[in-house]
Chain A
Amino acid sequence: MSPLRRRLLFGIPLALAVAGGEGFYIILRRMQQNDYDPHALPSPLIGKRPPAFNLPGADGMQGFSNTDLLAPPKPMLVNWFASWCMPCLQEAPMLMKLAKTGLEIWGIAYQDHPQDLANFISTNGNPYTRLAADASGLTAINWGVYGVPETYFIDKQGIVRWRYAGALTDDVVSGTLQPLLQKYA
């Protein structure tokens, strides 16, 4: 056996093991830092305007359509939620906190009953400037929503720049949302 072959035979499996280990280490570390979520899906809506829709208001508030999102005066969030969804309950205090900082948040209640929704809002507070109801869930399908809560970041041109599926946490807000707000301010 030539020395080169011997070296390759020993070195290649070692190099593969090291590369694999390094890859897993990076994935796990980024997952720990909330930097990477293997279940997250990229939204096809990113870089585009939301599809055409027109939803009625809910809980006595004004609803909205896609034309209302064409040119917000400053970047804003559209938050899909439902009173029956547990992570939405967890997320509610964070939304209140964000609304207090002056961030505009419009809500869409996904397949919700008016009474349950009213109870949810009166218990958890109302972070929304406008609140629409998607009772059939068909607008959600057009947006590519696959679960609640989902939060969409819309810039001043009305273009979706970011979608987050799941409850907004401190890490997500400080790590992703705040930089986006600065970038698109």
Chain B
Amino acid sequence: MRKLLFVLVLVPALAYAQTLTRDGVTLTPAQEARAEDIGSQLRCLVCQNESIEGSSADLAKQLRTIIRQQVVAGDSSKSIMNYMVQRYGIFVLLMPPFMRLTWALYASPFIGIILGFFGYWLMRRTKAEAPAPLTDADTRRLDELLK
């Protein structure tokens, strides 16, 4: 019983005490997960289609260190993002906010759908009107011709 209690108390404590070191900063797995989450939402400005988390550029490595330091210091994810935007502008965000510069980007799928419906309306085929029923004279003439 005492052993069980020992395990129950110490194992979670061990898990909590477990730390790792990434980019020169020592942090807990939970802090590392938060840092990775932030870093993967930020663009590496050196190789512009990679995230800071995924890039091997020196600047990205330095920014990863800064993110981890701020995470360890307890800064909110939002304030860390703001830190980056203040320095590099909204281009640093892989998911840009909705604003005057970006509204067209966000509206483009809807504009596309509207244009698609418009195109469909333009191209739709109208069924040809059924011809008027034959008169008696027409029937007689037809019979004559088909003889």
Which of A8, A12, A142, A147 makes the CB contact (< 8 A) with B87? Answer: A142
Closest chain-B Cβ to A63's Cβ sits at a distance in Å of 21
Question: What's the A-B contact tally at a CB cutoff of 8 Å?
Answer: 42
Residues of the A chain whose Cβ atoms lie less than 8 Å from the Cβ of B59: 137, 141, 146-147
A126: Cβ under 8 A from any B Cβ: no
When the two chains form their complex, are residues B66 and A44 in contact, meaning their CB atoms are under 8 A apart? no
Contact of A144 with B by CB under 8 A: yes
Q: Give chain B interface residues in 61-79, CB to chain A under 8 Å.
A: 62-63, 66
Task: Choose among A39, A41, A137, A147 the residue that contacts B62 (Cβ–Cβ < 8 A).
Answer: A137
CB of B33 to closest CB in A, whole Å: 24
Q: Does B18 contact A (CB under 8 A)?
A: no
Check: A1 CB closer than 8 A to any chain B CB.
Answer: yes
Q: Which residues of B contact A54 (CB under 8 A)?
A: none
Q: Contacts A141-B87, A144-B89 known; A1 to B126 CB distance under 8 Å?
A: yes
Distance A52 CA – B146 CA, assembled complex (angstroms)? 100
- Determine if B88 and A41 form an interchain contact, defined as CB atoms under 8 angstroms apart: yes
**A8 CA / B48 CA spacing, docked (Å):** 40
Q: Mark B100-131, 1 if CB is under 8 A from A, else 0.
A: 00000000000000000001001100100000
B66–A9 contact, CB under 8 A?
A: no
Q: Report A's interface with B, CB cutoff 8 A.
A: 1, 5, 8-9, 12, 39, 41-44, 111, 137-138, 141-144, 146-147
Apart from A137-B59, A138-B62: 5 A-B pairs, beta carbons within 8 A: A111-B58, A141-B59, A141-B63, A144-B87, A144-B88
